[in-house]
Structure 1
Amino acid sequence: MGKLGPLWSFLVFVFIFTQKARVNGSTNSAGNDNVMGVIGAIVDNSSRIGKEESVAIKMALEDFYVKFNQSLVLHIRDSQRQPIQAALEAKDLINTQQVQAILGPQTWEETSLVADIGSETGTPILSFADTTPKWAPERWPFLLQASPNEFKQMKAVAAIVESWEWRRVTVIYEDRDSSAFRVLPHLSNALREVGAEISQLVALPPFASSSLSKDLERLKEGQCRVFVVHLSLSLTERLFEMAKRKKMMEKDYVWITTDPITSLVHAMNASTISNMQGIVGVKSYFRENGGCFQNFHHRFRKRFSSEHPEEDNHEPDIFALTAYDAAWTVAMAMRESKKVSHLLLEKVVHSDFHGLGGKVEFIDNKLVPVNIFQIVNVMGKSYRELGFWSDGQGFSENLNENAAYNSSMRVLGQVFWPGGPWYTPSGWTLPIRSNPLRIGVPVGSLFKEYVSVKNDQSESNISFTGFAIDVFKETLEQLPFYLPYKFFPFNGTYNDLVEQIHLKIFDAVVGDVTIVARRYQHAEFAHPYTESGLVMIVPVISKTSNRAWLFMKPFTMAMWILTAVINLYNGFVIWLLERNNCPELKGSVLNQMGMLIWLALNTLFSINGGRLHSNLSRMTMVVWLFVALIIMQTYTANLTSMLTVQNLGPTVTDVEALKSSNAIIGHCTGSFLSKYLVDVLHFNANNIKNFTSIEAFAQALETQEIAAAFLEVPLANLFLAKYCKGFTIAGPTYKVGGFGFAFPKGSPLVSSITEALLKVSESGQLRELENIMIAAAKCEDVEPDKETPSLSPNSFLVLFILSGGTSTVALLVYIFCLDKSMLRRKIMWRLMKAAMRHWRCQKQRFSRKVSNVAESACNSPNTFDPQNRV
């Protein structure tokens, strides 16, 4: 704009010599020759704000003279709210009236042109515009924002929205107010922080009433019922008059006004107030209980009524206080700077005092922002002060030291809403039959069981079927209200489909749409109606072929051990029973151990018991052969089953094996999985292929074009139901979102749909619909693969007890018989020993007797007498 200086000079020259337009002319605030300087002011004298500013500036300079006995010449010009007019007046004030500073104007459009002139001439400009860009000080070093900006109050508006759990708002602003474009981003950010969003922006032209009527009619047909209004006073009056005429000031509607409107409610006439019943407004707060304000208030009312008798209300507000403080700031700076421009600017920037409107301090050439706002509610003939909102603390009923703060506005008490005081608006309304929900449905779904869109050669005969459609219809049946809707086909990617909600093309999306984080930029999802997760599908191979230890599989390890123990035990019993009758069972220890093992195995594979000599051996052998026959037949049957029944396993067991072998993998075209496979699972992007049909998936897996396919769990289940013969799931399940219905961000329908969907799930209807879908695609010619189980000892427990018991009985009988035989031998031995002792005793006696006879014969005369033989 600096390059337009010559143009402005020419316009000023033409203006001065053709119009010489003046409003109030020159004013000497003191009326004497003790003049300290000259101040200019540019206001819109046709507006209430401009009138308040004009009176307040005059009062400030009069009070300055009373205090310091120094007067300032004041020149006030009317901009008529026209930027060009404001620029011309600024040029005249600087060049003709030799002003040292300019107060105003009110709008940014005017301020930007005046700032160009002020920067060229080195004249400080103290603007009353509510917003100034961050880059303004660099471009216009002599421009200062003398009114607190409106950015903070947007947080107060967002806090009100959050308090009543509204999620979408419509913003209405004036089309020519460029400051709105700086305010709206702050409002959008504040709403986003509390989980809400701006659903629609409506720019109203300043004068076209027909356009205003059409805009309100369009808003009435929509679902959002929360409106944030940021307009000038004149346009606000026409807005609410039209809104009431269209019955938009009734039940279910919410109107929130910003400070430029709310601070002027006191100045509105009775007709306008009656049209605004129930609105909630954010209003700049200033202390009214100080002595200085009370004095100002009394004098302002008197003077304002005198200068502007056409106004019904004479109360000052924040605009008057801001203008008063700005004029006082310039006057004090001029008193200290001695009319030097740069010193004047420096003194203004370093101002630091408490004025009528609050703290006067500049940071980055801007007045410090206000952190406290008043929340008011229009009702009756004026408004009611509900309480306060403080940045960083929240809502409170008062501002004393013991004030209790809360994040919710509900603590401020009952609010009088449009349509009645005892009803809190929901902030939205249901679609009507004439304007049903526009629901987008994907055309290119690979799995027609989920979504199928068939076009019968005319738009009117498009049919929408599938699991997702059925679930959505069942969900709507559970809603406590009627929700009209209409399906529309969409032929594009799923990301583009979800984005159509953000672009207002569709009101919702129904289909096999996966819930992923990046899609939340454009929409919000209800609770998923399918299982969530991502799995890997791979071909299968036989697990039983070429297994060296397959012969061990029919029995469990415990069964094999118990069979060996019983077998050895029976062999030992037979060996013990037969060893006395069979010389080959005797010999060295090593030979006897070999024979024992041979007997154990012989009992399994031989049924010839003719060589056994003991009946006990024969009894043990018969029982064990019976048991062995059953065990062998069972083993043979189980092994045959394992060899004949196909036992399949995955070709690949995990993702790492795929990556290490640099294998090719596949996924659905248009899916979010490509990014997930690369960024999360770290596959090479060149090894990933897209497929447009499940038949192509199956063929690629069978021909080994790809080693694995990645599908979401619900689609994988359906795929395996169709191709159950040669594929299986391998590896872990990776957590990703399931399928869900998408709605606009902040849509009040999300919570209702989620609740209804949970009812469908908990009643079993969701599971029933899923079973019907899976059954329709079930592979009927192949039974599910069931691996033949190994047999445990529990299956043969009775037989093992019978065999072991028989062998034990035989062993006990043998031991008993052996004991009896040994007892008889012991008795005979003792009898023989007794007989031998008796015989030896008799023999000794006979010997002694013979010896005695011989001795007596020798001693007698007749040595030999044949008659006396012994």
Structure 2
Amino acid sequence: MEKSTVFFFLALCFGLRALSAMADDEAVKVKVGVVLDSNSLIGKMGLSFMDMALSDFYEFHKNYNTRLTLFPKNSMGDDLEATAAALELIKKEEVEAIVGPQSSSQAAFMADLGKKSHVPIISFSATTTMQSLSSRRNPYFFRATQIDSSQVKPIASIFKEFNWRQVVIIHSDDQYGEGILPSMRDALREINTRVADETAIPQSASDDRIAKQLYRLMTMQTRVFVVHMSPELGSRVFAMAKEIGMMGSGYIWIITDGMSNFLSEIDDSAMEAMSGALAVRTYIPITEKLEEFQRRWRRDKEISELNIFGLRAYDAIFALAKAVERVGTTEFIFKNSNVVSGKSTDLDNLGVSRNGPRLSEALSKTHFKGIAGDFRMVEGQLKSSAYEIININHQKNITAVGFWTPENGLTQTLNSTEMSSNSSAANLSRIIWPGDSSSFPKGWVSPINEKKLRIGIPVKSGVSKFIREIRDPLSSNTKKTGYSIDIFEAVVETLPYALNYEYIRYANDVGVMAGSYDDLIKQVPRGEYDAVVGDISIRESRSLYVDFTLPYSEASVSMVVLYQDNNKKAWLFLKPLTLDLWLTSGFFFVFIGLVIWTLEHRINEDFRGPPSHEIGTSFWFAFSTMVYAQREKVESNLARFVVIVWLFVVLILTQSYTASLTSLLTVQKLEPKFNDMNQLKEKKVNVGYPNGSFVLDLLITEGFDRSKLVIYNNMAHCGSLFLNGTIAAAFDEVPYLKDLTTTYCTNCTIVGPMMKSNGFGYVFPKGSQLGRDVSNGILNIMENGVLQDIENKWFKSNISSPDPNSLISTTLGLESFWGLFLLSGAVSLSAVIIALARFVHERRHDFNLSTDSMWKRFLLLMKNFDQKDHTSPAFRRNSRDENRDESRDENNSL
């Protein structure tokens, strides 16, 4: 039984093999040319992977009616040889497709041949960006690999993550090295990163020439380098960089996939030199299919490790085989040219593939999961996929620190958004930088030979808090400080690069300011200064010839006036409550008096008597509840309930009034003499304005009399004008007024803002990138509180100068108490309605028996209401007391 089973399986295997052989013999042979450099790593790997791809493909698709047959040609790494090989394959072999133009320059020549002969050209290694290889110009060229420009966004994302603002690009001096530059510049420009230098190194450069270029880069402040070149040249560059000390702490190196895809082929010494570098390379998803392929590949001892280009070659053949089968088995023939020529390389003798357009369309629509990932053509080239960010350490240790995808950007993992607690940046895992440093470098150092920026500063008369010079008694050197200087230097600390600068005083020979502020600003477009730092007002007229940063000060012009004591006012006691609250309170006192009279009149002797007595008693009772001094008793339960609610309202109201009045008498002791500009103009008082300022034009525009405007030179002068009574108010920008009220006139207060201005900013030339960076820095110190700390340092709040507007906050309005009044009113009305309803119900018989008119009946009802209710407990109690008193009197008389 066992022998028969074994025999059956052997027969089945031989039968399947025979059927497969018969299928291969009957299948249509489709010729495919292969043009590769058989002496290169990519060439040897590509051809080997393509053979394996064909074997695997037809092992899985035995029923297919087509079979690809490869016709390999050696390009020997030369563009002309590659073109000649392609021409020969098209003319003599009449191949239906050509795979493998190894470089973009080779692909450019061969793509033209494919366009002329309608033969698809498929490259798995031509990554350089070239206009001639676009699908619009060459619809028969297919790039089965990711283009170099697709990696510039992952690189730019790394720069954005670490906030590096300058970079040096080191590239090979050839078409491959220069091809990535335009897209790299654009990507970095989008994140406001400047390319400080582009260094081209020829493939044949000597070590001395490489060292000379690197020494030049060492003198620059930028310490971030992007390397885009072949592995052979890159290995020499890194070896020399390590030798001269450019692979130590503080340096950042980023490698493109031109090198990172061949790290396994780089020798140990070069890998040691690259320790600490970051690299981007195409991410290859680990699948069962890939792992099985790796096990088979390890049997080949010639190439030790898989490479992305080999995997792309494998997938390219798979895609071509699928497309050929989809096209079908007919018309795999060429239409020969009618031109006769004896030259085998004559392009006029090229035939045209009749099946080329259909095959090209089928390739464009081919989509499958390959061993290198998702295979999908978009406009003639492979759709961009994920990139892997790797960190190179010692002993060829390569660690993945993150990933980049078009959808999510940088992430630590592809399947999770969770961040590591010890990450070097939010979206990357821990990185070991050059010099075995775990904290990421700034990316810049102070430059060695870069010229200093000349920054002009105004010369202030007197003692200024905006710009101040302090002389060191030991060294006799002067140090610039002040509000404007401190903010600028705090901003410089936030810049992601070093800034070498010096302050230049805008002064004449005698040390006085050489001109106006407008004259100082005009020195920037003239090239005398690279920037101006100081208390420079941002004006539209000035922005026509310079750029301003974002304002670092308050953007308004306000006025300063003296205080007056508001506690001496006779009617200050009325301020705690607004008019509507006073009126509402008074109305409710009257209302509650009427409610209590209505409820107590028939049963309480205290609320009976002549009309004047009843009115006085009711109002006295209501108003006496304010101090809880009411002497009259209330007899009915309804009245008691009304009084309880009303006492609660009175308690809240009086306590709030007391607190507000106390605040007015103790805390808010001062208020400004003038609250707006109209009062100044009506009183026709003198008003001060700063010398040489635009404030004068604003005041004249607002309608001030020019004869009432008094000029002052600085804050000390302004303070003296207030003290001697020359001016009643002064107008200036808020930062100056803070200096005035905290130093020179502490009994003054700022009222405003009155007029809008743009505040203070720093001046830079038109289109200055440094100006934009300083603006970003101002936003930075605003957000982290540094700017507020600097302002507090120079302009501490005047403790004796409360904000006059805070007087409003101590005045109580009806909106705070309407709920209490509503409650009291509802309870009172309900009690009156219940009492009247009860009275009408008790007198219903008398009312119904009457034959008089309705008006007489109503008058009768009112007359009855005015009478005592002898059935009430109060009157019965009083009657018993009176009888007891009479009995006592009779006994005493007896």
TM-score computed with the length of structure 2 as normaliser: 0.51
**Residue 326 of structure 1: how far off its partner (Å):** 0.9
Q: Which residue of 1 aligns with 2:110?
A: 114
* CA offsets 1:304-354 (integer angstroms, 9 cap, x no match): 61xxxxxxx521121111111112222332344343111111111111111
1:51 to 31, 41, 44: 44
1:670-718 superposed Cα distances (whole Å, 9 cap, x missing partner): xxxxxxxxxxxxxxxxxxxxxxxxxxxxxxxxxxxxxxxx998779999
Which residue does the alignment assign to 1:369?
Answer: 384
Within 2, Cα distance between the matches of 1:361 and 1:643? 80
Q: Distance in 2 between matches of 1:499 and 1:395?
A: 44
In the alignment, which residue of structure 2 is the partner of 1:618?
A: none
Q: Residues 211, 331 of structure 1: CA spacing in aligned structure 2 closer, same or farther, 3 A cutoff?
A: same
Question: What is the match of residue 156 of structure 2?
Answer: 158
2:201 is the alignment partner of 1:204: yes
Q: Which residue in 1 is equivalent to 2:224?
A: 226
Aligned with residue 171 of structure 1, among 155, 169, 172: 169
Which runs of structure 2 are paired with 1:245-284 in the superposition (5 Å)? 245-284=243-282
Partner of 2:555: 533
1:72 to 49, 69, 74: 69
1:144 counterpart SS class: strand
The CA distance in 1 between the partners of 2:30 and 2:520, in whole Å, is 69
CA-based RMSD of the aligned residues comes to: 6.3
Counterpart residue type for residue 56 of structure 1: F
Distance 2:763 2:792 in 1: 17
Q: Classify the secondary structure of the residue corresponding to 2:139.
A: coil
Q: Is the 8 A contact 1:524 1:746 kept in 2?
A: no
SS at match of 1:51: helix
Contact kept? 2:390, 2:400, Cα under 8 Å: yes
User: May I ask how many residue pairs the two structures share in their alignment?
Assistant: 574
Separation in structure 2 between the aligned mates of residue 747 and residue 50 of structure 1, nearest angstrom: 52
CA distance in 2, matches of 1:477, 1:125: 54
Partner of 1:129 in structure 2?
Answer: 126
| Percent identical residues | 24
Aligned residue among 293, 298, 303 for 1:296: 293
User: 1:279 offset after TM fit, Å?
Assistant: 1.3
Q: Secondary structure at the match of 1:334?
A: helix
Instruction: Tell me the SS of whatever aligns to 1:139.
Output: coil
SS in 2 for 1:738: strand
Aligned amino acid, residue 371 of structure 2 = L
> Which residue of structure 2 lines up, in the alignment, with residue 415 of structure 1?
431
Q: Distance in 2 between matches of 1:748 and 1:215?
A: 34
Conserved? CA contact 1:499–1:523, under 8 Å: no
Equivalent position amino acid for 2:310 in 1: A
* Gap change, CA 1:766 and 1:760, over 3 Å in 2: farther
CA contact (8 A) 1:284 1:370 kept: yes
Shift of 1:55: 2.3
Q: 1:217 to 1:77 in 2, by over 3 A?
A: same
Residue 534 of structure 1 and its aligned partner are, at CA, apart by 6.7
Which residue of structure 2 aligns with residue 41 of structure 1?
34
Where 1:137 maps in the other structure, the secondary structure is coil
Which residue is 1:345 aligned to? 360
Partner residue, 1:799? none
Distance 1:743 1:645 in 2: 48
1:63 corresponds, among 42, 56, 65, to: 56
Q: 2:320 maps to what in 1?
A: 330
Q: SS where residue 110 of structure 1 aligns? A: helix
Q: CA deviation at 1:280?
A: 1.8
- Runs of 5+ consecutive residues of structure 2 not aligned to the other structure: 1-22, 333-354, 469-477, 507-518, 560-567, 573-680, 704-730, 740-751, 797-894
Read off the aligned partner of 1:240 and give its amino acid letter: F
Relative to structure 1, the CA distance from residue 224 to residue 646 in structure 2 (aligned partners, 3 Å threshold; closer, same or farther) is: same
C-alpha contact 2:30 2:67 (8 A) present in aligned 1: no
The residue type paired with residue 146 of structure 1 is A
SS at match of 1:138: coil
Q: 1:267 to 1:35 in 2, by over 3 A?
A: farther
Cα distance in structure 2, aligned partners of 1:498 and 1:298: 68
Question: Equivalent residues in 2 for 1:397-416 (5 A)?
Answer: 398-399=413-414, 404=418, 409=425, 413-416=429-432
* Cα deviations by residue, 1:390-417 (Å, 9 ceiling, x for unpaired): 44335556556x6746898556543222
Alpha-carbon distance in structure 2 between the residues aligned to 1:37 and 1:477:
67
Offset at residue 759 of structure 1 (A): 7.4
Mean Cα displacement is larger for which, 124-133 or 402-411? 402-411
Compute the displacement of 1:240 (Å): 0.7
**Cα drift, residue 132 of structure 1:** 4.8
In 2, Cα distance between equivalents of 1:153 and 1:376: 16
User: Whole-Å Cα distance in 2 between the matches of residues 44 and 99 of structure 1?
Assistant: 19
**What is the CA distance between 1:162 and its match in structure 2?**
3.8
Q: Which runs of 5+ in 1 are unaligned?
A: 1-29, 306-312, 453-462, 538-554, 560-641, 661-709, 719-728, 770-870
2:761 is paired with a residue whose SS is coil
1:521-554 alpha-carbon deviations (Å, 9 max, x no partner): x9996x96x63537699xxxxxxxxxxxxxxxxx
Q: Are 2:762 and 1:739 aligned?
A: yes
Distance 1:499 1:272 in 2: 50
Tell me what 2:306 maps to.
316
Counterparts of 1:432-443 in structure 2 under 5 Å?
434-435=448-449, 438-442=452-456
Q: Distance in 2 between matches of 1:303 and 1:55?
A: 10
> CA shift at 1:418, angstroms?
1.2
Going from structure 1 to structure 2, the CA distance change for 1:276 and 1:365 (only over 3 Å counts) comes to same
How far apart in 2 are the matches of 1:299 and 1:355? 16
Q: Could you say what secondary structure the match of 2:393 adopts?
A: strand
Q: 1: CA distance between counterparts of 2:119 and 2:51?
A: 20
Q: Residues 138, 752 of structure 1: CA spacing in aligned structure 2 closer, same or farther, 3 A cutoff?
A: closer
Structure 1 equivalent of residue 407 of structure 2: 392
Quote the residue 1:242 is aligned against: 240
Query: Which letter maps to 1:58?
Result: D
Q: Specify the structure having the higher radius of gyration (Cα).
A: 1
8 Å CA contact 2:214–2:241 kept in 1: the answer is: yes
Counterpart AA for 2:367: D
Q: Which amino acid counterpart does residue 443 of structure 2 have in structure 1?
A: W
Q: Following TM superposition, by how much is the alpha carbon of 1:745 offset from its aligned partner in structure 2, in angstroms?
A: 6.6
> CA distance change for structure 1 residues 181 and 484 in 2, over 3 Å: closer, same or farther?
closer
Please point out which of 138, 141, 146 is paired with 1:140: 138
Spell out, residue by residue over 1:375-397, the C-alpha distance to the aligned partner (whole angstroms, 9 max, x if none). 34333234233454444335556
Cα drift, residue 288 of structure 1: 3.3
Q: Does 1:379 align with 2:394?
A: yes
2:710 maps to: none
Q: CA deviation at 1:247?
A: 1.0
Rounded Cα–Cα distance in structure 2 between residues aligned with 1:748 and 1:44: 54
The answer to whether the Cα contact below 8 Å between 2:491 and 2:778 also exists between their aligned partners in 1 is no
Q: Give the secondary-structure state (helix, strand or coil) at the position aligned to 1:160.
A: helix
AA paired with 1:344? L
TM-score normalized by structure 1? Answer: 0.52
Once the 2 structures are TM-superposed, how far is the Cα of residue 270 of structure 1 from its aligned partner? 1.1
Supply the distance in 2 between the matched residues of 1:408 and 1:500 (Cα, whole angstroms). 42
Q: Is the 8 A contact 1:160 1:408 kept in 2?
A: no
Q: 1:154 to 1:113 in 2, by over 3 A?
A: same
Query: Which letter does structure 2 place at the counterpart of 1:278?
Result: G
What's the offset of the Cα at 1:95? 2.6
Distance 1:113 1:495 in 2: 56
For 2:58 and 2:251, locate their aligned partners in 1 and report how far apart those are by CA, in whole Å. Answer: 51
CA distance in 2, matches of 1:476, 1:129: 46
1:98 to 74, 81, 94: 94
Partner Cα separation in structure 1 for residue 45 and residue 291 of structure 2: 16
Aligned to 2:686: 647
Q: What is the deviation of 1:237?
A: 0.9
1:595-618 deviation per Cα after TM superposition (whole angstroms, max 9, x unaligned): xxxxxxxxxxxxxxxxxxxxxxxx
